[in-house]
Each structure stands twice: as C-alpha cells, then as structure tokens.
Structure 1
C-alpha cells in the first residue's frame, strides 16, 4: 500500500491536513529580516540567518520581493506576527506550500 501525500492542491480542508501541511520545516536561503506583516514596510521584529529552519504556518500575498530564490508576492507566517518573504525560503515551489492565512 502506498503512502498518501498531502499537498495544498489535494488537501480537502480538514484541520488534520492543515496541521500536516503547516508542520514541515524549510531552510532559510539567506539572512532575512522578520517583519510584523507581509511587507518590508512592516516593523522589523527579528532576523534569521541563512541555514536556519522555519515552519511555515500559513502563507499570504503581500509586497512583491526579489530574493535569493526568485521574485514573489508570497509571504510566510512563521509565528504570530512574524513574516518573511517566501523568496528567502527554500520551499521547492513557486506557489503555496502551506494553507493560506
């Protein structure tokens, strides 16, 4: 029997699936400021170093940013009031890899 893989495209919206998607960790590609919202105009609330691992709780569109992995308007919420541009995270995807915020 093969193991089922849950992706944002195949998830049916159950709470368990949302938790499974949000439970993955990803590597930060370069040093990045952590912001209080999805844009560089939001207050800086921290900083992550290249190589750090983050758990993406959810993602939402915001300011378009060009970073080490490309250009995107997606921002990753990594904690309450803590966002980083998806272009600084090695997710292996240009799209959503976690539930939308």
Structure 2
C-alpha cells in the first residue's frame, strides 16, 4: 500500500471556494444538521471554502439529497446540497 502525504503548506495555499446555489440565501448552522442553531445567513452569490465534511441531517436541495455537511469555518456548517462542488460525494477530508 502506498501512502501519499502532502506538505503542510499545501492545505493553506490550495484553499478553493465553491459557489452556493444561485438565488439562495443559505443558513449557516452551528453543527451538521437542521436541528443546530442558525449562526448567520449567507447572501445570494456567496462562495464558501470547505475545510472538511461530515455526515449529519439528510437534506434535499438544488444539488440533490445528501447527509453531507460542509464545514466552512470554525463551528459553521452548511448542507452540501446547496454548494456546487461538482460531486455527490465527499470532496474534502472528514471532520475529526
């Protein structure tokens, strides 16, 4: 088995931002689910980084139905079904 490792600087320099679905003001929650408090609302046209992803409440949105939640900042999560990642699966490491 081959294990690849990235330099520590790669994580900070390769941060990519993803578009929120058009016309959506997206609720940002304190955890990965709809039962968590809303901490802020993203404006239409927002772009977000995804630091890690974790399973949570299943949600149906513009990009399908999924239980994947994206961590966009410390203690801030959005449903992946509202973020255009180009994938129905995980595109970032699991939150740990």
User: Same fold judged by TM-score > 0.5?
Assistant: yes
CA displacement, residues 37-96 of structure 1 (integer Å, 9 cap, x when unaligned): 000100110001231010000000000000111100000000011000000100000011
Return 46-55 or 79-88, whichever deviates more.
46-55
2:18 is aligned with 1:26: yes
Where in structure 2 are the equivalents of 1:9-48 lying within 5 Å?
12-14=4-6, 16=8, 19=11, 23-29=15-21, 30-48=24-42
State the alpha-carbon separation in 1 of the partners of residues 40 and 75 from structure 2: 11
* Structure 2 equivalent of residue 71 of structure 1: 65
CA distance in 2, matches of 1:86, 1:25: 13
Query: Structure 2: which 5+ runs fail to align?
Result: none
Alpha-carbon distance in structure 2 between the residues aligned to 1:40 and 1:21: 31
Stretches (4+) displaced over 6 A: none
Tell me the secondary structure at the aligned position of residue 91 of structure 1: coil
CA RMSD of aligned residues (A): 2.2
Report the TM-score when normalising by structure 1.
0.80
Unaligned ranges ≥5, structure 1: 1-10
Aligned length: 91
